[in-house]
Amino acid sequence: MHYAHILGTGSYLPDRCMSNDDLSKIVDTSDEWITSRTGIKERHIAAPEEQTSDLAVAAAQRALADAGIQANDIDLIIVATSTPDMTFPATACIVQQKLGIHGCAAFDVQAVCAGFMYALTTANAYIKSGMARKVLVIGAETFSRLLDWQDRRTCVLFGDGAGAVVLGASDETGGIIHTKLKADGRYQHILQTPGKIANGVIDGAPYLFMDGQAVYKFAVKALAQIASEVIQEAGMTAADIDWIIPHQANYRIIESTARHLKLPMDKVIVTLAQHGNTSAASIPLALDTGIKEGRIQRGETLLLEGIGGGFAWGAVILKY
Ligand code: UT7
């Protein structure tokens, strides 16, 4: 039996930082409204020439250095993104080329803000089955490019960034302990970017749409349920969890999951204020931040959980 251990993590944020006050010069909003409703204070925005793959590569290089391995050692690259560089090829193939390696399997997963949960679960399955030994799992997004910058209901919420994890196979127990994924396409209409390119023109609305209150209610319930289920199925209790690393969308949703598990907020990694919602990048960004700040220690048990468009959601328990 093989176990998928985290060998290293890395993350990257574009240089340009946009505060709530900066946003209040573009749309009718305020720092007070954004902070009190979401917990977000600032977000990073990719430079015009920066592609999702550039953010992904920067995070991946840091994760590889952290793991002490060469890009050549990787035998699978999975990129979770809903903002690929182009319709095809997969951003993972572009990342592979930019890392200067060739031949290993590379593909994207598209599960919006749950993307990293889906990517990590897929990587775990490859390692457990013996199909891969070293996997680069990346969440990378340039959500700023999906936003209608005149729509204050959405443009204040999102940011750009990338986070990466290098997983390695080991015969020693530990690493990823249990994973759980769910989806329910009946709720696709409450969070979507319905436009697409067809016959050379944009067909449908090309901007992100969200019914915030419907998403909020769905997220609170679904995350509480999946967190309880994944803990129970792992044969654990909430008391065994050292850190929750949640998707960073709304402080009140994060608090609600912690409250449901009866865990204090000082056991939760929250990067929302600095990052905003970076979709598939948010969990690996928070994970890397918690590790690099020296809060998350080797041997500790982590609960990662995320939810987003689809609807798709998932949770992973692992020993770091
Ligand atoms: O990553 C995927 C998961 N996404 C989420 O989990 C997001 C979940 N939803 C939310 O986080 C919240 O629903 C929001 C933060 C998006 C919105 O907060 P809310 O408390 O649900 O506000 P609301 O949509 O009910 O809007 C309340 C008021 C409205 O004004 P009226 O109609 O009451 O006069 C909005 O027009 O706030 C207004 N509003 C704003 N005001 C200032 C909406 N956006 C803004 C804004 N600045 N940026």
H-helix or E-strand spanning residue 308: strand 301-308
Question: Which atom of ligand 1 is nearest to 213's Cα?
Answer: 13
Q: What is the pLDDT along the chain (320 residues), one digit of tens a residue?
A: 799 999 999 999 999 999 999 999 999 999 999 999 999 999 999 999 999 999 999 999 999 999 999 999 999 999 999 999 999 999 999 999 999 999 999 999 999 999 999 999 999 999 999 999 999 999 999 999 999 999 999 999 999 999 999 999 999 999 999 999 999 999 999 999 999 999 999 999 999 999 999 999 999 999 999 999 999 999 999 999 999 999 999 999 999 999 999 999 999 999 999 999 999 999 999 999 999 999 999 999 999 999 999 999 999 999 99
Question: Which atom of ligand 1 is nearest to 252's Cα?
Answer: 11
Token readout for 192 is 């979507």
**113 catalytic, yes or no?**
yes
- Residue 140's nearest CA partner among 76, 61, 223, 68 is 61
For residue 37, the CA-to-ligand 1 centroid distance in Å is 7
| Mutational test site, ligand 1, from 36, 250, 253, 311, max ligand atoms within 8 Å of CB | 250
Which residues form the pocket of ligand 1, taking CB atoms under 6 Å from any ligand atom? 29, 33-34, 37-38, 113, 152-153, 156, 212-213, 215-216, 219, 249-250, 253, 277, 307-308
For residue 43, the CA-to-ligand 1 centroid distance in Å is 17
For residue 212, the CA-to-ligand 1 centroid distance in Å is 6
Calculate the alpha carbon distances from 252 to 87, 217, 220, 255 in Å.
35, 11, 9, 5
Is the bond preceding 158 in cis, omega lying within 30 degrees of 0?
no
For residue 257, the CA-to-ligand 1 centroid distance in Å is 20
Q: What pTM was estimated for this model as a whole?
A: 0.98
User: CA 228, CA 209: separation in Å to the nearest integer?
Assistant: 30
User: CA 168, CA 260: separation in Å to the nearest integer?
Assistant: 32
For β-strands 175-183 and 312-319, DSSP reports them as antiparallel
**20 catalytic, yes or no?**
no
